[in-house]
Amino acid sequence: MDHVGQMIDMQEKGLTVLSGPFMEKAGGPNGVLADGGMTIFKVADRPEQHPTGDGRRRAD
């Protein structure tokens, strides 16, 4: 699967919030793409990653 296909697949599965290329020159469809891009992924609470071990933040 090509990169665009992978991004569409993740978007359809609800795994990403936003993705897109970096622009070398702005211009919408007529802009110039730069190398690279960014993707913002959705995350889920994972209790084992929290210091309290139960998914809640510690009260300081």
Q: Are 14 and 8 in contact (CB under 8 A)?
A: no
Q: Which residues pair with 41 in a beta bridge?
A: 16
Question: What pLDDT does residue 41 have?
Answer: 85
The predicted model scores a pTM of 0.49
CA geometry: angle 27, 20, 5, nearest 5 deg: 120
Question: What pLDDT does residue 15 have?
Answer: 87
Per DSSP, 20 falls in state: E
Residues 3-58 pLDDT 10s? 778 888 888 988 888 888 888 998 888 889 888 888 888 877 655 555 555 555 55
Sort residue 54 into left (φ over 0), alpha (ψ -120 to 50) or beta: alpha
Count of C-beta atoms within a 10 Å radius of residue 42: 10
